[in-house]
Amino acid sequence: MKNVLIPVDFSDNSWNAVQYAKELFQRTPCVFYLFHINAIAPYSGAETSIVGSSKVLEEAVLQESQERLDEVLKRIEQLTVNTEHRFETLTVYDFFVDAIRKQIADKKIDLIVMGTKGASGLKKVTMGSNTADVITKVKCPVLAVPENAEYKKPKEIGFPTDFNLSYDIKVLDTLIEIVQMHHAALRVLYISGKGEELDSEQHKNKAFLHDYFKDLEHSFHRVTSKKLETAVQCFVESRDLDMISMVAKNVNFLQRVLLRPAVQEISYHTDVPFLVLHE
């Protein structure tokens, strides 16, 4: 039984994440935890937060959240029923990241699925702060589902890497599971500057991946570009990728591709789900 945590803020994009998760694991027994966090701002002091006010007010906030979660359950019941899926609701008043960490430990969560929403203009390419915080601060695989992503069975999954990291096998478990579950193909992308060649360590890490993926349909691709973000964009479009996956341990690479791309034309943030893997 897979345990999936879905933070819900009652927006359209969080509902999209619920539907995507349900479809992605349509053939897998799952418990989906719909989790609403009445978040305490990081700068809040006890005297300015609900925690420091009356217990009655806190209970009223949680009751309202629970009622709204019950409405989400009713919407789910209108979708195709899967007898191997169970949905449970949770609501708390807590710091956002702390609340996520507690549920991962308490419920033995295997994967977090979060909806993300872009803004207008240049900010369109910047991932929401809550999602970014979870990706960088919580040791659990995260599937970020953009607001415009429509579920389709993953056929090709991109895996950008600079081959500078040695991989712990367990880090890749969630990716392998999704690839096998949907009989998908894995496309490993290396982006290099003009004239750059792999060094001995990079060759070693590439060989490891090739061996580890030997039972999966996979291929290695190389794109020469000065701009990492646009290279990923071109690869996503040329392969019509259904999902992208990266390892959180490679912080610089992750920041440039996912969290703070500097190029306005990036659209994979609003269209393609992004799976971030943790040790």
Q: What is the DSSP string of 241-273?
A: -SEEEEETT-HHHHIIIII----TT--HHHHS-
| The one-letter amino acid at 151 | Y
Residue located via tokens 């950008």: 160
Which has more confidence, 65 or 123? 65
Rg of the chain over Cα atoms, rounded to whole angstroms, equals 20
Strands (E), 60-141: 85-94, 111-116
Q: Is the dihedral of CA 22, 173, 141, 187 positive or negative?
A: negative
Task: Tell me the mean pLDDT in the region 236-253.
Answer: 88
Question: What pLDDT is stored for residue 261 in this prediction?
Answer: 61
Question: What pLDDT is stored for residue 67 in this prediction?
Answer: 95
Name the least confident of 30-44, 95-109, 190-204, 212-226.
30-44
Which has more confidence, 128 or 262? 128
Predicted confidence band at 226 (pLDDT cuts at 50, 70, 90)?
confident
pTM metric for this prediction: 0.89
Predicted confidence band at 71 (pLDDT cuts at 50, 70, 90)?
very high
- Give tens-digit pLDDT for 151-203: 999 999 999 998 988 888 889 999 999 999 999 999 999 988 887 899 999 99
Name the least confident of 47-56, 59-68, 220-229.
47-56
Average pLDDT of the residues of the chain: 86
Closest CA to 147 of 175, 121, 114, 122: 114
Contacts of 23 (CB under 8 A, 6+ apart): 151
Predicted confidence band at 45 (pLDDT cuts at 50, 70, 90)?
low
Task: Tell me the mean pLDDT in the region 37-45.
Answer: 71
Question: What pLDDT is stored for residue 43 in this prediction?
Answer: 58
Please report, rounded to a whole number, the percentage of residues in the chain having pLDDT higher than 70.
87
